[in-house]
Amino acid sequence: MKTRKLLLTALSMMLVATSAFAFASCDQMKGAKGDKGDKGDKGVAGIAGENGIGVEGVEYDENGDLKITYTDGTSETVGMPSEDNHTYGDWTAYFPGEAYCGDGLYYRVCGDCNDVEWKQDQVHNWSVTTQEATCTTEGLETKTCITCGEQVETVLPMGHNLDETGVCKTCEKQVGYTEGLVFEIQEDVNGKYAVVKKYNGTAEEVVIPEIYEEVPVTVIGIAAFDAVVADGGRLELKTLLTKVTMPDTITEIGTNAFTQCQALQEINISKNLKKLGGWAFKDCISLKAVDLPEGLLEIGDSAFRNMTVLRGEFKIPSTVTTIGAEIFYNTDGVTKVIFPDTVTSLGTGIFRNADGIKEVKFPEGLKELGNNMFGGATGIEEIVIPDSVQKIGDQFFYKCNALKNIYFGKNLNTLGGYIFYKCSAASTVNIHYPGTEKDWDDFMLIDDGEKEGEKNDAAAIKARVIFNSAYVAPQA
C-alpha cells in the first residue's frame, strides 16, 4: 500500500491546488500568453503503481470529507481539516485598486499557520458617504459602487459626535475626559449619578466630563485627587497635576479631594456647587484663586488650610449657611473676609495663624463665636463683634499682637477664658463697649483654675474698656 499512499498524497495536493484556483480562470483574470520556454532535462522516473491500480473517481461525502475510489473497486476516505482549526483574518480582494464588478477572487490568511483560504465573490469599487450619528439620531453609511451602481446601506447607532475638545457637537456637553479618571455610578432618590473616584493618569491637565455612561457626573469623591491618599499614595501628584477643568454638573467636592496637590495652579469651580468638603484644597500651595459660586451652601473644615498663595479679599458667597473650623488656617495672604448674614454656623479657629488678615465682618445673627478665632493672627488691628453675639470663646485674641481696637456688641454677656493669652497688645488695646459700667460688671467672666497659662484678669481687662462706645461703620 506504500504506492497507494504516495498516490493519495499527490492527489490531495492536486485537489487543493485545483480547488484554490479553478474558479479564478475567468476572462478578467487571464494574463497574456508568455513565450515558450526551453525544454528542461528529463526528470527521474516515477514509481510504478501497485498492480496498475489507478483512481476511478473522487467526491465529497456527506461529512465534507474526500472519498477516493480506485480502479480495483476499493475506496478510501480522506478527512478534511476543520476550518475551526484556523484563525483567519479579514477577506482581502485579489484585485487591489481595480475598478471591477462581477466575479472576483478574495483570500484570507490564518494568523497561526499562514494557511491561505480563497473564495469567489464580487469585487466592487466602493465610494462611501457617511451621515454621522448623533446623541439624538442614528447615522447612515452608504456604499455605492462607482462602476455598477450597486448600493449598500448600514445604519449607525446613536452616539455623541465630539469635537477636538471632547464636547458633543449636538448636545454641547463635555463627554470626552482625561484618560486615567475612574468613575463609579451611584443612585439616590433623584436617580443615578456618577462620582469621580480617583485619578490614575499621567496628564498634567485633567478634564472631568459632564456625563459618564449617559448619567451626569455630579460628585468629585473623597480623596479623588489626594496626592497622599489616592491610589495608595501617589506622591507624584504633588508635582504632576497643574490644572483641573470641571463641568457645571458638579454639586459636591468631597473631603480631601485635592489635598497635597502642590503643583495645582488652576481650577474652575462648578457654578452649581453646593458643598465643598473639608480639607478640599489643603496644602495646594500653588493655587492662587478659588472662586466660589453663588448657590454654595457649605464649606468644610480647613478647606483652604495652608494655601499660602491666596491673596487679598476672599469672597464668601451670599448663600453659604455653614462654615467649618480653621478654613483659613495659615493663609498668610488673605487680607479681607466678609461673612454673609446667611451663615448660621461658624467653626472655631477660622483665622488661626492667618498673619495677613486685616479686615473681618462676622455675620449678624450668630449668638456665639468659637474658640481661638484669631489665634496667632498677628496682623489684625481691629475686630468688630456683631450685636447678636452673646459669647466669645476661649483664647479668642491669642497672640493678636497688633490689636488696637475691639468693638463688642451690646448683647455680649460672656467672655471665654484666656482671651488675651500671649497677646502683648492686651495692655494697650482699646475695648469699646456700648453699655454701662454696671452692665459690664454683670458679665460672667470665665476664670477656670484647671487650665494652664494666663487667666482672665478682670480688673486689667476692665481698665481697657471705653463704656458707651459703639462701632460706627464708615460711610461708603
pLDDT, tens digit, 9 for 90 and up, residues 262-297: 999 999 999 999 999 999 999 999 999 999 999 999
Q: Which residue has the higher pLDDT, 112 or 84?
A: 112
Instruction: Compute the average pLDDT of residues 336-360.
Output: 96
Please tell me the predicted confidence (pLDDT) of residue 270: 97
End-to-end Cα spacing for the chain = 118
Q: Which residue has the higher pLDDT, 390 or 116?
A: 390
* pLDDT reading at 3 higher than 70: no
* pLDDT reading at 178 higher than 80: yes
Closest C-alpha to 92, from 106, 112, 75: 106
Residue-averaged pLDDT of the chain: 83
**Which are the contacts of 136, defined by CB distance < 8 A and separation ≥ 6?**
158, 170, 171
- In terms of CATH, what superfamily is 310-476? Ribonuclease Inhibitor (3.80.10.10)
The reply to whether domains 164-292 and 310-476 share a CATH topology is yes
* pLDDT reading at 13 higher than 50: no
| Highest mean pLDDT: which range of 63-72, 202-211, 417-426 | 202-211
Q: Where are the domains of the chain?
A: 126-156, 164-292, 310-476
Domain 164-292: CATH class, spelled out: alpha beta
The C-alpha atoms of residue 217 and residue 449 are separated, in whole angstroms, by: 54
The 10s digit of each residue's pLDDT in 356-367 is 999 999 999 999
Q: Which pLDDT band holds residue 457 (cuts at 50, 70, 90)?
A: confident
The 10s digit of each residue's pLDDT in 50-91 is 456 666 777 777 776 777 787 788 888 766 555 567 888 888
* pLDDT reading at 43 higher than 60: no
The C-alpha atoms of residue 397 and residue 404 are separated, in whole angstroms, by: 12
